[in-house]
Each structure stands twice: as structure tokens, then as C-alpha cells.
Amino acid sequence: MGHFGGVGLVAETQEAMSGKWRKLFANFDRLSPPKVLVIGFAVLIAIGGLLLSLPLSSRGGDRLPFGDALFTSTSAVCVTGLVVVDTYDQFSLFGQLVIICLIQIGGLGIMTMSTLVFLILRKRVTLRERILIREAMNQLTLEGMVRLIRKVIVVTVVVEGIGAVLLTLRWSEEMSLPRAAYYGLFHAVSAFSNAGFDLFGGFQSLSLYRGDIWVNLVITGLIIVGGLGFTVVTELIENPFGSRHSLHTKLVVSATVILIALGTTGVFLLEGRNPKTLASLGIGERLVGSYFQAVTARTAGFSTIPTGDLKPATLFFLATLMFIGASPGSTGGGIKTTTFTALFLAVLSVIKGRDDVEVYGRRIPKRIIDRALAISVISLTIVVFITIILSAAETCGFLEVLFETVSAFGTVGLSTGITSRLTALGKILIMLTMFIGRLGPLTIATAIAQRQHVVQVRYPEEKVMVG
């Protein structure tokens, strides 16, 4: 009887555990798509932190403190590039492979990678999963979600493959072919994902190739393509010279070209007489360095000139570019180019006394303008709040702290060199800012867009003086 009683107790325990798991998954299924994405990224960061803290991940075999490993994992998943330890000097081949996998998953998005697994296993993508893909890719409709994921995967493989081959050809001139191929692949993935992680040691990024046209053009090309957004890239590939591009594509391309041109001009003029950055270079290297810095400030994080030596005016100028960031549905961060463009056009409409926001013969809906305003205000509030706390907690200068905060929020990775000197509180705040920058504006905007309340009562209108 005792034996059968024990068997019954085990069976009851197993049934209870099974019931708890069923309840857990049932609760998970009821979570809103934004919450699922947040939890997914958080779990991925935790797993990455655990792997990077293993002795196997460190070059010397010593265990990296979990706090630093978690910071590195957060930076990789959020495709930021801020580091407290140098990637090459600290991590072994295993650790570097973990980092590049985290970058790839973080850049493409968890739902993209999950859908890839479903496609490989020939499993059907459910309606809920399509909704999650729409949230992750910042799309407006559910139509063609699986088809979009296929295009994203193909574009990623092709672009990163071309970038890896081009970089391998260049670096094979100064290192063995296997190492050149590894470096080419690592930096191609890092650049296309707008991550900014490098393997050249000493926190020097790509300063060794400051005047190298080949490396500069390949890296910036990958950054720009990755920052355009997959929807825009696929549309340009399918119809490169057509006049029937969507308004979204027109705005993204126009804003990208203008911001890069303004960024290049701004850096060139502001740093032209700085002996620590551009003043000692020839006119060609000045232009290349200015262009590279303007592109990388759009959320990539690579650098060919020392960021810590830039003038205060240049740092603030680059912080503005970092805050704007890349485009929706891309591997980059920031409030996004279309958000900034929509607000800029709305301001012009107010100045001109027009009720509608019009561009390229089209009218932008008021709800889009409202969402752009909400994203900008929320983002600015986060940056201001984190900057105030860091300024009080750290011994660094205000501009350095502001630059670091905007870099983290825009998932850029540029730093004046204070990242490794931050206190434990400072590192936690920067990790939180990177996490919010990767997910916050997107999930908040989606949540606002989906809240459709039936208005039953409209109060009387009364004017308020502004301005």
C-alpha cells in the first residue's frame, strides 16, 4: 500500500506541475504583443549574460563579473555597442561568437528568428504570431507578414554576405585568410545590425582604417542599408527607379540623404580646426572621416576618429543625430527619421497656416502626427530623466553624461570613454536606457495606435493660449 501510495503521490505532483505549466502558458498567451516582445528580449539578454559570464567566454579563462557580462549582452541584443570591457581583449572565440549571435538576433528581432525556425520546420504561423511580427516589424497591417519575413531573411543574408566578402578581400592583405574571413563576417553583421562591436582591441574601433576608402565605404554602406528599414529596402530592390514608391519610402530616403549630408558638413566644419581629430589630416581624409562620423552617429557606433577628443559643439550636434536615429522597421534606434520628418512638416504647416500636413502630393493623417509627437515627448522625457540621475550619481561632465545617455537610448554605441568608468548604478541606468531605446518607442507607439476607445462624450471646446 505504501508503494502504491507513493506512486499516487508522485502522479498527483506531476499532475499539479503540469497544471501549473498549462496555466503559465495560458497566461503567456493572454499577454499583449508588446509585453511578449519585452519579455522575449529580456530573456535573451539574461541568457546572453549567463553565457558571457562563463570562463569559456573569457580569453584568459577567468570568469567575467556577471554585471559586466549582462551589460555586454544588453548592448549586443539592443545592437548598441557601448562596452565596459573590450570585445577582443576580453572575450575568447566562443564569447565573440555569442556576442555576434546576440547582435544578429537583436538586430533582426526575436519574432523574425522565431518565424525562420517555423519556416524551416514547415510549421504554420498562427494569427497571434503574425500579430507579434507586425508589432516587432512596426507594420500597419497583417497582410503579407510571413512574406515580409522571408524577404528580411534573404536581404540580410545577401547584404551581410556581400559585406563580409568585400571586407575579407581587404583584410586578407594584412592577415591570414581564415582570420580575414572571420573578421569580415563579424564586422559585416555588426555594421548591418547597426551594432558597432569590433575586434581590433584597445577600444580603438576602426581608427586604424581612418583613411581607408574601401573599409569606410563598405562599413557605411552596410550601416545605411541596415538603417533604412527592411520594408524600404525590399521596395527599392523590387522597384529601384520607379516613380510609384510609397510615401514612407520617399520620406525615409529623403530624410536619410539630408541627414547624412548635413551631418557630414557639420562634422567637417566643426572639427576642421581640431588638431586632435581632423585638422592634421588631408582634405580627402577629412571628408571621409566626416562622412563616416555622420553615418555612424545614425545608430551604428563605429568610429574612425576619437569621440572623446571631439569639441563640445560636435558632441551636441552628433547627439542630435543620434536622437533622431535610423528608420522604422530597421536594425537602428532613435525616435526614427519619419517621426522627426512628420513633426518637422507639421511645424511647417503651422507656420504656413495650413490645417493639413502635406508632402509629395499626399496628406499625412493627424493620428500619425499625434503618434510622432507622443514618441518624441516620451523619448525626450526619458533622456532628460536618465541624464539628471546620471549627472547626480557620476563624476563625469554633464555633456559626457548627456552624450552617453543619448547614445544608449538611440542604440548608437558612441562614447566619450566614460562607459567603463560608470558606477554600478550608472551601468544599470545605461542598460535600462538601451533596453528602452530598442523597444520603448516602438512598443509605446504601437500600443497607442491600437487603443481604439469609443468616444461617448465630447466636452465643450475652449481655447488655451500657447506660445
> Which DSSP category does 309 fall into?
G
Residue 97 has pLDDT above 60, yes or no: yes
Confidence at residue 287, expressed as pLDDT on a 0 to 100 scale: 94
Q: How far apart are CA 180 and CA 5, in angstroms?
A: 65
Within 10 angstroms of residue 250's Cβ, the number of other Cβ atoms is: 15
Residue of 253, 233, 211 whose CA lies nearest to 359 = 253
pLDDT single digits (tens) 433-447: 998 888 766 565 454
The per-residue b/e assignment along 123-153, b for 16 or more CB within 10 angstroms, e otherwise, is eebeeebbbbbbbbbbbeeeeebeebbebbb
Q: Report, as an integer, the average pLDDT of 127-151.
A: 62
Q: Mind listing the pLDDT tens digit for each residue in 207-257?
A: 889 889 999 999 999 999 988 988 888 888 888 776 688 888 999 999 999
Per-residue pLDDT for 96 more than 70? yes
Q: What is the pLDDT of residue 447?
A: 47
Confidence label for 259 from pLDDT (cuts 50, 70 and 90): very high
The answer for residues whose C-beta is within 8 angstroms of residue 317's C-beta and 6 or more apart is: 263, 266, 267, 270
State yes or no: pLDDT of 127 exceeds 70: no
Instruction: Say whether 362 sits in a helix, a strand or coil.
Output: strand
What is the Cα–Cα distance from 77 to 69, expressed in whole angstroms?
Answer: 12
Instruction: State yes or no: pLDDT of 85 exceeds 90.
Output: yes
Average pLDDT in the 35-50 region? 85
Q: How far is CA 354 from the centre of its chain?
A: 35
Check if the beta carbon of residue 99 is closer than 8 Å to that of residue 197.
yes
How high is the pLDDT of residue 242? 67
CA distances to 24, 208, 277 from 17, rounded to whole Å, are 10, 57, 62
What's the mean per-residue pLDDT of the chain? 84
**Average pLDDT of span 64-79:** 94
* Rounded distance between C-alpha atoms, residue 297 and residue 116, angstroms: 31
pLDDT at 23: 52
Percent of the chain with pLDDT over 90: 51
- 28: confidence class by pLDDT, cuts 50, 70, 90: very low
The per-residue pLDDT for 24 is: 45
pLDDT bucket at 137, cuts 50 / 70 / 90: low
Q: What is the pLDDT of residue 235?
A: 85
Instruction: Show the cell assigned to 296.
Output: 555612424
Q: Identify the CA nearest to 120 among candidates 149, 97, 100.
A: 149
139-148, 310-319, 402-411 — which is least confidently predicted? 139-148
Looking at residue 166, its pLDDT comes to 97
Query: Burial of 308 by CB count in 10 Å (0-12 exposed, 13-18 middle, 19+ buried)?
Result: middle
Question: Which amino acid, 197?
Answer: F
Distances (CA, A) of 309 to 313, 412, 416: 12, 18, 8
What is residue 84's predicted lDDT score, i.e. its pLDDT?
93
In 30-126, where does DSSP find H-type helix?
33-52, 66-77, 87-90, 93-108, 110-120
**Cα 79 to Cα 104: distance, rounded to the nearest angstrom:** 8
Q: CA nearest 105: which of 30, 193, 164, 26?
A: 193
Q: What is the mean predicted confidence (pLDDT) over 111-120?
A: 57
Q: What is the pTM of this model?
A: 0.86
Is pLDDT of 328 > 90? no
Give the domain ranges of the chain: 29-449
| Phi, psi dihedrals of residue 357, rounded to the nearest 5° | -95, 115
DSSP at 380: H
First CA to last CA distance, the chain: 85
Average pLDDT for 397-404: 95
Residue 362's beta-bridge partner residues? 359
**Which of 122-136, 167-181, 223-237 has the largest mean confidence?**
167-181
Asked whether the predicted pLDDT for residue 107 surpasses 60, the reply is: yes
Burial call 374-389: b when 16+ CB within 10 Å, e when fewer = bbbebbeebbeebbee
- Mean pLDDT over 249-278 rounds to 94
pLDDT per residue over 273-313, tens digit each? 999 999 988 999 999 999 999 999 988 889 999 999 999 99
* Residue 38 pLDDT level (bands cut at 50, 70, 90): confident
Half-sphere exposure of 432 (CA within 13 A, CB side): 13
In three-state secondary structure terms, 357 is strand
Quote the pLDDT of residue 12.
54
For the residues of 308-319, what is the DSSP string, one character each?
A: GGS-HHHHHHHH
How large is the average pLDDT for residues 104-113? Answer: 72
How far does CA 288 lie from the centroid of its chain?
Answer: 24
